[in-house]
Structure 1
Amino acid sequence: MSTPATPPAPTPPPLPYSPAYPIRTARLDLRPVTADDFPAIHAYQRLPEVCRYLYWGPLDEAGSRTSVATKSTRTTLRASGDVLQLAVLVRGTGTLVGDVTFVLTSQAHRQGGIGYVFHPDHSGHGYATEASRALLKLGFEELGLHRIQAELDGRNTASARLLERLGMRREGHLRENEFLDGEWTDEVIYALLAREWRAQQQ
């Protein structure tokens, strides 16, 4: 009986890495956050319904200014754990509708993660799905990642539907895994593999 061949070690993504900004989709531009984005970002960071399933907020003006300042520095991936945080603008109007996050979770294991926060006034247009798909493309096609993951509060059914539209698979449901807003809540994990992404593109 022959011994199965050992698969080759994964090739780590090339670092440092900065996307060619803006990242353009059919309708959107994803670009680094700037100080001028404060009014638009604070407009949704201050809303309780936006922050309901997140680890922060609602934020006052000072909190949002700190958040915007931090986001504006996150434009390049240099090592595992680094983050890109990008403003999402509708190209036709220049309206900032939300921001998205891409995390290089592990360079060695070619793992990444995505996240998103959008103003509810702009829901129903598919902007979050379109912007998140751009992050998946960045991770799989630009960085050569093997797996991209997203985590969400188990009560956030709207976010779960978005991830399912992206073709991500529900991999785990951690019961009462986190203590948020005075109660124990579940965490749900979705993920997509590079070969599944490639199959989607055919």
Structure 2
Amino acid sequence: MFQPAYPIRTERLTLRPVAMDDLDDMYAYQSRPDVVRWMLGAEPRTREQSRASVLAMAGEDAWRAEGDCLTVAVVSDARVIGAVELVWRSERDRTAELGYVFHPDHGGRGLATEAVVALVSWGFDEVGLHRVFGRCHARNEASARLMTRIGMRQEARHVQSYLFDGVWADQLVFAVLAGEWNALPRSRKG
């Protein structure tokens, strides 16, 4: 089993397991059309749908087996402003997939970058991952910029690779290897 030593603290944030007490904060962004806009098949959530989502995430506090998702709540000024996750895609290949979602009211201050860097660093430094990758809709410029900013390289553009709201869409794939991550200047990683 792999589990961070909670809480993970950064200069301005605390990353910790999701709890049911986070419902109000998470519902505040899960219910927004501008937040779920780039999520495949996602629609703004009702409060009950958010409750189910938070309950599911509350059980994602560690990696117990390949395929598990580790999700952490990102806390700033005693409020949950987003969530970051790593999905354990391959034990043998030591690979994980990055995901994140943040309340737009907290954008533009580098908080998402800081949180993502903290969890990716845990994956490389504590778990011994070899590769972390992330995917996004090709028009999701903010997500692509975040992955580039933390030192991930664009590896692929899968042209018309999936149906998104009934239309064929391109998907961008970004990745970083452990050696590349460790060679990045600290300032580049957030």
CA shift, 1:72, in A, is 0.2
**What are the equivalent positions in structure 2 for 1:1-202 lying under 5 Å apart?**
16-55=1-40, 56-90=42-76, 93-201=77-185
TM-score (norm 1): 0.89
CA displacement 1:35-73 (0-9 Å, x = unmatched): 110011011001111011102221111111110000000
SS in 2 for 1:186: strand
AA of the residue aligned to 1:156: N
Distance 1:57 1:18 in 2: 31
AA of the residue aligned to 1:197: W
SS in 2 for 1:87: strand
Distance 1:87 1:58 in 2: 19
AA of the residue aligned to 2:147: L
SS in 1 for 2:184: helix
CA displacement 1:127-158 (0-9 Å, x = unmatched): 11000001110111001111000010111011
Distance 2:151 2:88 in 1: 20
Give the unaligned 5+ runs of structure 2.
Answer: none
Distance 1:201 1:109 in 2: 25
AA of the residue aligned to 2:18: V
CA shift, 1:121, in A, is 0.5
* Structure with higher helix content: 2
- Would you say how many aligned residue pairs link Structure 1 and Structure 2? 185
Distance 2:15 2:86 in 1: 12
AA of the residue aligned to 2:141: T
CA displacement 1:51-99 (0-9 Å, x = unmatched): 1110222111111111000000000101111111111001xx2121111
AA of the residue aligned to 2:54: V
CA shift, 1:201, in A, is 4.5
CA shift, 1:107, in A, is 0.7
Distance 1:67 1:80 in 2: 21
Larger Rg, first or second structure (1 or 2): 1
CA shift, 1:115, in A, is 0.8
CA shift, 1:106, in A, is 0.6
